[in-house]
Structure 1
Amino acid sequence: MAEFKGLSVSFAVKQKQDVQKQLFWPNLKNGPFNKLEDPVCCVKYCQSVPNFAVASGFQVEIRDPSANNAVVKNFHRFKSPVRSIAYRGLGSGLIAVGETNGHLSVHSVAMRTELRHMTAHTAAVTGLAFLAGVVGGGSTLSAAPKLASCAEDGRCLLWDVSDPQGQPLMEFDLSSASSSTSVSAPPADATAAAMDKATALDASQTDCNLLACGMINGRAYLLDSRQPRPALVLSHEHPVTCVRLAPGDNALYVAGDCWVRALSLHQGGRQIAAYRRHHKHVTDLAVGRGALLSCGLDGLVKVTDLLTYEEVQKYEYPNCGLLSMALSPGEADCLVLGTNDRWLLTRRYESPAAAAEAAEAAKSMSAAMKDPYLKAVKAYQVMPARPEDVVAPGPGRSRRPRQQLDQLDRLLKKFRHSDALSHVISKGQLKRKPQQAAAAMRELARRGALATALAGRPDVHVAALLKFVLHSLGNQDMAEDALPLASDLIEIYAAPRELRARPGIRPLFERLRALLAREIELGKQSAMCLGRVGLLLDTSAAAGGLAGSGGAAL
Structure 2
Amino acid sequence: MGDFKRTVIRELPERKGEISPESKFWSDFEFPVTVKEFDAITHLEFSPIEPYQFAATTSNKVRLFNPINNQVDRTFSRFKEKAYCGSFRHDGRLMVAGGEECVIKLLDISGRAILRFFSGHERPVHLSKFTSDGLKIFSGADDTTVRCWDISSGEEVQQFQEFKDHVRCGDANKPSRDIILTGSYDHTARLFDLRTNSSIMNVNHGKPIESATFLPSGNIFLTAGGNYVKVWDALAGGRLLTTFGNSHKTITSLWLHESMGRILTGSLDMHVKVYDASTFGLVASLDYPAPVLCVAVSPVTNLLVAGMSTGLLSIKHKKKDETPQTEAERQQKQREKRLALRYFNKGNMYIPQEGDTLVPLKEREGLPKYDRMLQRFEHSKALDQAFAIGVRIPKPHVTFSVLQELIRRDTLKAALSGRNEKWIRLMLHFLKKHISNPNFVSTVTDVVDIILDVYEPVIGGSEELKKGFTTLRDSIEKELKYHQELEEIQGMLDAILIASQTDLDTNPDMVIAERDDILKASKEDMKTEAENALKR
TM-score range, shorter chain: 0.5 to 0.7
Aligned CA distance change for structure 1 residues 441 and 530 (closer, same or farther; 3 Å): closer
What pairs up with 1:297-376 in 2 under 5 angstroms? 297-318=268-289, 320-329=290-299, 331-350=300-319, 354-357=321-324, 367=337, 370=340
User: SS of the counterpart of 1:480?
Assistant: helix
What pairs up with 1:88-487 in 2 under 5 angstroms? 88-90=89-91, 93-133=93-133, 144-163=134-153, 166-175=154-163, 196-288=165-257, 289-318=260-289, 320-329=290-299, 331-350=300-319, 354-357=321-324, 367=337, 370=340, 446=393, 479-481=428-430
Distance 1:205 1:444 in 2: 52
Give the alignment's Cα RMSD to 1 decimal. 4.4
The one-letter code matched in structure 1 to 2:429 is E
Asked if the contact 2:90–2:132 (Cα under 8 Å) also holds between the matched residues in 1, the reply is no
Deviations 1:334-388 (A, max 9, x none): 222111222221234447xx25559989965854775978975787799999698
State which drifts further: 271-280 or 18-27. Answer: 18-27
The one-letter code matched in structure 2 to 1:146 is K
Partner of 2:491: none
Q: TM-score, normalised by structure 1?
A: 0.58
User: SS of the counterpart of 2:429?
Assistant: helix
Distance 2:62 2:173 in 1: 24
Q: Unaligned 5+ residue runs, structure 1? A: 1-17, 134-143, 176-194, 392-401, 403-438, 450-474, 487-522, 532-554
User: SS of the counterpart of 1:231?
Assistant: strand
Q: Report 1 or 2 for greater relative contact order, CA contacts < 8 Å, sequence distance ≥ 6.
A: 1
Aligned CA distance change for structure 1 residues 162 and 370 (closer, same or farther; 3 Å): same
Offset of residue 45 of structure 1? 1.4
Partner of 1:468: none
Asked if the contact 2:266–2:294 (Cα under 8 Å) also holds between the matched residues in 1, the reply is yes
Distance 1:529 1:24 in 2: 48
Deviations 1:88-115 (A, max 9, x none): 2547x11111111212110111132111
User: SS of the counterpart of 1:106?
Assistant: strand
The one-letter code matched in structure 2 to 1:110 is S
The one-letter code matched in structure 2 to 1:315 is L
Distance 1:293 1:173 in 2: 31
Asked if the contact 1:223–1:230 (Cα under 8 Å) also holds between the matched residues in 2, the reply is yes
Following TM superposition, the consecutive aligned residue runs of length 4 or more in structure 1 with deviations greater than 4 angstroms are: 28-31, 355-366, 368-391, 439-445, 475-478, 482-486, 523-526, 528-531
Offset of residue 61 of structure 1? 1.3
Work out whether 1:32 is the aligned partner of 2:33.
Answer: yes
Distance 1:308 1:301 in 2: 18
Distance 2:427 2:199 in 1: 57
Equivalent position to 2:56, from 54, 57, 70: 54
Distance 1:479 1:64 in 2: 50
The one-letter code matched in structure 2 to 1:287 is L
Distance 1:151 1:326 in 2: 23
Partner of 1:6: none
Q: How many residues align?
A: 374
State which drifts further: 213-222 or 371-380. Answer: 371-380
Asked if the contact 1:128–1:202 (Cα under 8 Å) also holds between the matched residues in 2, the reply is no
Offset of residue 64 of structure 1? 2.0
The one-letter code matched in structure 2 to 1:79 is K
User: SS of the counterpart of 1:132?
Assistant: coil
Identity of aligned residues (%): 22
Q: TM-score, normalised by structure 2?
A: 0.60
Asked if the contact 1:85–1:98 (Cα under 8 Å) also holds between the matched residues in 2, the reply is yes
Offset of residue 246 of structure 1? 0.6
Deviations 1:130-155 (A, max 9, x none): 1111xxxxxxxxxx521111111111
Asked if the contact 1:294–1:302 (Cα under 8 Å) also holds between the matched residues in 2, the reply is yes
The one-letter code matched in structure 2 to 1:72 is D
Offset of residue 21 of structure 1? 3.2
Deviations 1:172-215 (A, max 9, x none): 2424xxxxxxxxxxxxxxxxxxx511111111233212211111
Aligned CA distance change for structure 1 residues 361 and 526 (closer, same or farther; 3 Å): farther
Distance 2:323 2:464 in 1: 69
Offset of residue 79 of structure 1? 0.7
Distance 1:385 1:309 in 2: 76
Aligned CA distance change for structure 1 residues 526 and 132 (closer, same or farther; 3 Å): same
Q: Unaligned 5+ residue runs, structure 2? A: 1-18, 366-385, 397-423, 436-457, 467-536
Deviations 1:400-456 (A, max 9, x none): xx9xxxxxxxxxxxxxxxxxxxxxxxxxxxxxxxxxxxx99987984699xxxxxxx
Asked if the contact 1:173–1:230 (Cα under 8 Å) also holds between the matched residues in 2, the reply is no
